Amino acid sequence: MTDEEYYQSLELTQLTTLLKDYEEVKVLKLLETFTCSINEDLQNFLHNKNKAIRLEKSHVTRTYLYTAITENNNPVIVGYFTISLKVLETNGLSKSIIKKLDGIDKARKHIPCYLIAQLGKSTNCSSKIGQFMLDESIETIKETNSIIGGRFIILDSVNQEKVISFYEKEPNSFILLDEKDKSKENLKMYYPLI
């Protein structure tokens, strides 16, 4: 099976839909099937009910889950992404970058944007589905963007060369906003929507 065929075989469901259709305990059990040893924050976001579930119920974020069915006929989460609105604080950014991000004012202190808050796949997933997941998250944001506007997407990338270049390489073309600094755990990147 190619990576794309595997990706197409997964079921994509919004967490909101699951919370409407099933009891919260059952939904949490499903979220707990997601494992990511390389990025604990990504795993905890689904496992801790004060994160994905609470934020979804409070309409702060929207989480999209990719589910596979195991040989024993059990559903397992193999990847997910979480998107939301965000206000970017421009403190520390150059005037030219602020102007580029804001579109109008080089002195703007806060700029509304979209956020990819989480994105990743399970440690058990050997297929390269990262690009498909990222494309889907950007397409989902673009649907909203065509209705209400907005100029860019922000994300905090894990500060690892391979992850940074995953976001930088074509067709993604995310641009680093933070200076490269090995002491930082995450680096902010943006994706222009215009």
Ligand X SMILES: CC(C)(COP(=O)(O)OP(=O)(O)OC[C@H]1O[C@@H](n2cnc3c(N)ncnc32)[C@H](O)[C@@H]1OP(=O)(O)O)[C@@H](O)C(=O)NCCC(=O)NCCS
Which residues of this protein are in contact with ligand X, per CB under 6 A? Answer: 36, 38-39, 42, 119-121, 128-131, 157-158, 160, 162-163, 166
CB nearer to ligand X: give 98 or 125: 125
Q: How far is the CB of 32 from ligand X (least distance, A)?
A: 17
* Cβ closest to ligand X, residue 78 vs residue 111: 78
CB of 49 to ligand X, least distance (A): 21
Q: How far apart are the first and last CA of the chain?
A: 36
Are 150 and 112 in contact, with CB atoms under 8 Å apart?
A: yes
Find out whether 147 and 80 touch, Cβ atoms under 8 Å. Answer: no
* Beta carbon of residue 156, minimum distance to ligand X (angstroms, whole number): 7
Handedness of CA 53, 56, 60, 62 (dihedral sign): positive
Q: Please, which residue, 15 or 187, has the CB nearer to ligand X?
A: 187
Is residue 99 classed as helix, strand or coil in its secondary structure? helix
Closest residue to ligand X using C-beta atoms = 130
Tokens of 141: 């944001």
Q: Cα dist. 59→14, 21, 131 in Å?
A: 13, 17, 26
CB of 168 to ligand X, least distance (A): 12
Residue 15 or 98: the one with the smaller Cβ distance to ligand X is 15
Cα separation, 27 vs 79, in Å, equals 15
